[in-house]
Chain A
Amino acid sequence: MARRGRTAESTDLRLARERRQQALESRPDLPENLPGPQFLVQAAGRKSTGGAIRHRAPRRGQLMNDTSTETDTLEQLLVRTAMGDREAFARLYQHSAPRLFGLCVRLMRDRNEAEDVLQEAFVSIWRRANRYNPSLGGANTWLTAVTRNRAIDRLRQRRESTNTEPLDFERLPDANPGPAGLAMASAQYLRLERCLQQLDPKYSRSVRAAFFTGATYKELAERGQVPLATMKSWIRRALLQLRTCLET
């Protein structure tokens, strides 16, 4: 833990040096004793080591395939991204883009659009990284939420729903291909999957269809040819049962 804190601090100091350097390059007449970037870093360092980085044990953000010798978690990369560290941002992209792109392709059903969404998502991630609050959850979940929100916003902007494929909630196969290898699946995913399987199949199929198509209640009801109220009640019951199941 202490080591991680120091790593973060040294990143701050390095950033400060760079800023100071840039400042000196652009303002060679800057006097040495003006309040300089060190001041900012002291302010920043206090907060970052006490807050984000130390608090969060690297449980599920831990990178599984990190071949480098460093052991940064996604959380650390995201916090460094918030401080303007482009290298951390590049590594964040490298480690999370394939997973997020898989989700974009699934949601948009069009590779070009999926690329646009992923681009928008990472632009947002860079600009809004400072809003990530580690006490409210892991970096992985935050990145997924940003990406998915971008995709859903874009789906809502389409004048008409392009996905009108009929849904048969009675017979729809429980297509849950799962992660390529279940060995790669997180404990959270496996738990959610178990809970989904305990639901009435109509409910779980509605939830999966909603999750992977980004469709509104209305679109789901139309595609499934069920009344809107029925669709709402299926999904709401599913959500309440999932909440209970995941609490135990």
Chain B
Amino acid sequence: MNTPTDDESDLRYAEYVLGVLDADARAAVEQELAASPQAAAAEAQWRQRLLPLAEAAGTETPPPQLWTRIRAALEFDAPAAAADARGGWWQNIRLWHWLTFGSGALLAAACAALVVIATHRPPSPPIPYMAATIMETDGRVGWTATMDISKARMIVVPGAPQPVRADHTPELWLIPRGARPVAVGLISTHAPMTLTLSASLVARLGPTARLAVTIEPRGGSPTGQPTGPLVAAGMIGAAPASALHLAHTPQRRA
């Protein structure tokens, strides 16, 4: 049933769940889990097998102030942060996923989302957001990327990308017009990823730049330049920014 290599990788997930790996090995497994749905499924199976043992630890009542500490850490009671409730709309990956799941309504959805978002931050000037739909060669939406310039981060939500072969991972590149690709980070075919952008990367984002995805060996391109096949690409657009603009000119009625 199980070949020795199957057992070997399956055992690594078991060791990860049990917790016997050192910090480096744990990090390596976590990267694998983010990149491969098969790995995530195998790990989930080991969770189901082993974690019931936690019941043997029994229960302890946490001190009542712990809940207060958690609320404080999440800034639940800060009235000004109402819009930033859970780290802000930005954190609501699920929302983005739903919004971008079907490619048809993508732009409208992004606009609608940003209209709502804009209204949550009353007196601020238009916030620089950019977005890109990264299409696969067959026309399917591979990923959707949304960039928050002020916070220097990009959220990349998979649409329906082609599966990636074992030991490989999709890598995202920024290609400024007329320049060489710059690595943005490793992304996943099944899980949303938030990537932190360096200042130099942020400076190069703009409507003349393009985002592209290539398939690289696990851990990313060994050379710092794309080595694998290009599977998807898309221009960076300022559409959501104009949606923000729309939100600030409310007299425009349909």
Interface residues of A (CB under 8 A from B): 19, 22-23, 26-27, 29-31, 33-37, 39-40, 43-44, 46-47, 82-84, 86, 90, 93, 97-99, 101-103, 105-107, 114-115, 118-119, 122-123, 126-127, 130-131, 133, 136-138, 141-142, 144-145, 148, 152-153, 156-157, 176-180, 185-186, 188-189, 191-193, 196, 207-208, 210-212, 214-218, 220, 235-236, 239-240, 242-243, 246
Contacts and interface: CB of A to CB of B under 8 A. Distances in A.
Contacts, number: 222
Contacts of B115: 34-36
Contacts of B138: none
Interface magnitude class on chain B: 35 or more
Interface string B41-62: 1001001111111111111111
Contact of A239 (B15, B76, B97, B253): B15
Contacts of A179: 55-56, 58
B51 A141 contact: yes
A43 B99 contact: yes
Contacts of B83: 22, 26
Contact of B52 (A37, A188, A217, A239): A188
Q: Which of B21, B23, B56, B121 lies at the interface centre, i.e. has the most chain A CB atoms within 10 A of its CB?
A: B56
Given A148-B19, A240-B11, A27 B44 contact: no
B18 A239 contact: yes
B70 A102 contact: no
Given A101-B62, A123-B73, A34 B247 contact: yes
B58 A119 contact: no
A39 B22 CA distance: 46
